[in-house]
Every structure is written in C-alpha cells, then in structure tokens.
Amino acid sequence: MEKLIELKNLYKHYPILGGILRHQINAVKALDGIDLDIMKGECLGLVGESGCGKTTTGKAIVKLHEATKGEILFHNKNKAGKESVIDVVPLTNRKMKQKGIRGKLQMVFQDPTTSMNPRMLIKNIIAEPINEQVKLSSREMESRIKKLLDTVGLGGQHLLRYPHEFSGGQRQRLAIARAIATNPDFIVLDEPTSALDVSVQAQILNLLKELQDKLGMTYLFVTHHLLVVKYISSRIAVMYLGKIVEVAQTKDLFENPMHPYTLALLSAIPNTNIDKRSKRIVLEGDVPSPLNPPAGCRFHPRCPFAIDRCRTEIPKLEDVGNGQLTACHRKEDVAKLVKDTFGFSMKR
Ligand code: SF4
C-alpha cells in the first residue's frame, strides 16, 4: 500500500502564559514527537483515553491547529496525475489553497450542531467549501449539492432547511456531505458517532464504509470506542499521553496486543475478553498531566510491568513482526508477564 500521509516527529505544545509580561511558563504537551504513516485508501483508527492527543493529531493534519514542530508529509496528486510530497506544516491557508490541497484534507466533528452555523440554510452550508475551490453558476451549484445530499442518504427537499430542523443522525449526514463536497483524499472523523443513538451510529458507520469504497477515500477515525474502531478500521494506532504506543492491523491488535496499555484497554471492553470475560487488567491511578509528563516511558507510573529502565528511557516504536509496531522495553516478555501476573493469556 502507498503512503498518503506521514507524520514525522510531530509536536504540538500549547503554551501556558503567566506573569505580568504574560510570557510562556509551561506548555501542555498534547503531541510529543509522534511518527505515524497513513496509507492510501485505509481507515486508520486512532484510540486512547480522553486527553491523549487523538483529536489534536487530526486537527494538526487538517491544519485546524498549527503543529509546533515536525513534518506532516502529504503525498499529493495534481490534476495531471503527477505526484509530489508536500510538508503542510509550514504552509499558510493561502498557500494550501494555491497548491490545491486545502480541500483535499477534511474533517467531520463529533457534534455536527456546533460545527454548522445555525443561521445558514443547508444549501449555503454545503456550498461554502465548494465556493472556496471553484466558481459554479447557481444552477450547477444546486445540482451538485443535491447530488451530495443523495450520496449521504438525504434529498434535494432539504436544501432550504436550517440545521435545527434535522435529527442528530441527519445532521451528521449533512456534515459528511459538506466534508466530501470538495472531493477530498483524506478525512479525519473525530468521534463522528459518539453523540448518536446506537441504531443511528450503525447507519452512519455503514454510510462511511460505503463512501470509502465508492470514493476511495482515506480516513483517520478518532475514537475511544474500541468496538466501533474494530468494525470500521483496517489498522489501529493506540495513543497514550501524546505518544503513539502501538500500531497494528485490527485483527492483530485484538488477537495479539503487545503493549501493556493496549492490553488494559482491550481487557476493559464489556462482553469481550482477553481470555475470559471477567479477566481484566485494572490500571491504577489517573493519566498523568500533559503539563508534566513522566520521564522515560509515559505509561510507567501505571504499568504493572515497569522496571527501572522504564523510568528513564523512552521506548521507541519497533516492528515486532507483521508490521505491528510497539513501544515497550519488555515487549518480548509481555505475554509471559500477563500470564504470571494476572493468570490468563492475552492471545485470543
Ligand atoms: Fe510498561 Fe516499561 Fe513497557 Fe512502558 S516500557 S509499557 S513502563 S514495561
């Protein structure tokens, strides 16, 4: 598979200002040097607890938040089919438009109510990103918007309505229509189903799958819901406190997790098991503050298998076979450690 996006040593620190002169006294280290490849046509799930940096990663890629340092390489194909690799980090919005890549990177948010102007008609909401790209006559625009509404399972009769006239599921369909209006190559889906009823969640997930097959798009699916990500993603990356700790094919991650944090997450899924349902790895304590993350492995204060080395040395993401990457000093022993400590096998 070819790469579409490469994150290289990417940082996003939010400064904390203080003192009379309002100078920087600290920083929230939301992303602290992450490396991640996103392949063309795949749906990559990004999971982890709240505040681990999942949404920040998505926002940095689509340039809603400026990365502090590092590279976001986008493998772009122009209209003539010529491929080039562009680092979007130093680009301004204007430069992104000039290079024709602004509309190729899109995002769908968790709550469509807050991402749509309540005073705008649906036709104007969907027309906005199209107008940024091309000038169409009003007849052409209307026909394009109707087509987009059809694609997401709505109809032309919704053109002259306001966002509040729709249900949550319909509003999410509208948000998807707006995101695909510019024919993007890549969409960040930021918890797109968490605010919806379970039956509607399934409809939106199926719609996203259909669109991916039909339009050949690439997704980064951000969520804390492991069963949702298991259903929709072909690969999964696990984040903890601003770092990627494990990346694997979905099947490999669920059957053979190699990082203690992934193990704890999987063991917490209701009605599924590491071995048997009731067997869980319960993590002690809270996630440390991203203002002062622990030295060495960020997970060491909560890891049941931490050793001295973990407190000082940051583990690197390393291939453990099958393209599975894990950042843990004890990756080779994890299966035995789980068996010895908790009395069950992690392999399923
Ligand atoms: Fe646990 Fe050490 Fe592995 Fe971190 S590096 S996950 S602390 S065993």
pLDDT in tens, 195-239: 888 888 999 999 999 999 999 999 999 998 898 999 999 999 999
133: helix, strand or coil: helix
Cβ within 8 Å of residue 95, ≥6 positions away: none
Please report, as a single letter, which amino acid is at residue 235.
R
Cβ within 8 Å of residue 28, ≥6 positions away: 13, 14, 16, 290, 291
Residue 338 belongs to a domain: yes
Statement to judge: residues 147 and 216 lie in one domain: yes
Residue 348 has pLDDT above 60, yes or no: no
Ligand 1 site-directed mutation target among 262, 265, 297, most atoms within 8 Å of CB: 297
User: Which of ligand 1's atoms lies nearest the C-alpha of 329?
Assistant: 5
pTM, two decimals, is 0.92
Residue 247 has pLDDT above 60, yes or no: yes
pLDDT digits (tens, 9 = 90+) for 130-171: 998 888 899 999 999 999 999 999 988 889 999 999 998 999
Statement to judge: residues 130 and 252 lie in one domain: no
Query: Which residue segment(s) compose the domain that 247 sits in?
Result: 239-342
User: CB atoms < 10 A from the CB of 74, how many?
Assistant: 23
CATH number at residue 148: 3.40.50.300
Quick check: CB of 306 below 6 Å from ligand 1?
Answer: yes
Statement to judge: residues 189 and 315 lie in one domain: no
With CA atoms as reference, report the closest residue to 54 among 211, 220, 175.
220
Statement to judge: residues 75 and 204 lie in one domain: yes
Which pLDDT value is given to residue 277? 52
User: Which of ligand 1's atoms lies nearest the C-alpha of 298?
Assistant: 4
Statement to judge: residues 125 and 78 lie in one domain: yes
Statement to judge: residues 137 and 280 lie in one domain: no
Count of domains forming the chain: 2
With CA atoms as reference, report the closest residue to 272 among 289, 290, 294, 254.
254
Q: Which residue has the higher pLDDT, 184 or 82?
A: 184
Residue 299 buriedness (CB in 10 A; 0-12 / 13-18 / 19+): buried
**Beta pairing, strands 235-240 & 243-249:** antiparallel
Separation of 117 CA from ligand 1 center, angstroms? 45
User: Which of ligand 1's atoms lies nearest the C-alpha of 245?
Assistant: 6
Separation of 247 CA from ligand 1 center, angstroms? 16
Statement to judge: residues 247 and 167 lie in one domain: no
DSSP one-letter string for 39-50: ETT-EEEEE-ST
Which pLDDT value is given to residue 55? 95
What is the C-alpha separation between 281 and 334, in angstroms, rounded?
A: 13
**Nearest residue (CA) to ligand 1, atom 3:** 328
Residue 32 belongs to a domain: yes
With CA atoms as reference, report the closest residue to 105 among 183, 177, 46.
183
- Helices vs. strands in the chain: H and E counts, helices first: 11, 12
Residue 333 has pLDDT above 80, yes or no: yes
Statement to judge: residues 133 and 201 lie in one domain: yes
Examine the fold and report which residue of 193, 218, 233 is the final residue of a domain before the chain moves on. Answer: 233
Handedness of CA 271, 275, 276, 278 (dihedral sign): negative
Residue 347 belongs to a domain: no
**Beta pairing, strands 186-190 & 69-77:** unpaired
Residue 348 belongs to a domain: no
Separation of 306 CA from ligand 1 center, angstroms? 5
pLDDT digits (tens, 9 = 90+) for 267-310: 887 755 555 555 677 787 788 899 999 999 999 999 989 999 99
Residue 202 belongs to a domain: yes
What is the C-alpha separation between 203 and 75, in angstroms, rounded?
A: 31
With CA atoms as reference, report the closest residue to 35 among 332, 319, 255.
319
Examine the fold and report which residue of 233, 253, 270 is the final residue of a domain before the chain moves on. Answer: 233
Quick check: CB of 59 below 6 Å from ligand 1?
Answer: no
Residue 333 belongs to a domain: yes
102: helix, strand or coil: helix
Which pLDDT value is given to residue 135? 86
Statement to judge: residues 225 and 132 lie in one domain: yes
Examine the fold and report which residue of 233, 264, 296 is the final residue of a domain before the chain moves on. Answer: 233
Statement to judge: residues 281 and 253 lie in one domain: yes
Separation of 175 CA from ligand 1 center, angstroms? 40
Model confidence at 113, pLDDT cuts 50, 70, 90, reads confident
Residue 75 belongs to a domain: yes
Which pLDDT value is given to residue 175? 94
Statement to judge: residues 278 and 215 lie in one domain: no
Separation of 305 CA from ligand 1 center, angstroms? 6
Residue 83 belongs to a domain: yes
Statement to judge: residues 148 and 163 lie in one domain: yes
What is the C-alpha separation between 18 and 283, in angstroms, rounded?
A: 34
Helical residues (DSSP H) of the chain, grouped into ranges: 54-61, 93-98, 122-133, 138-151, 168-180, 198-215, 226-232, 250-255, 260-267, 308-312, 334-342
Total length of the chain? 348
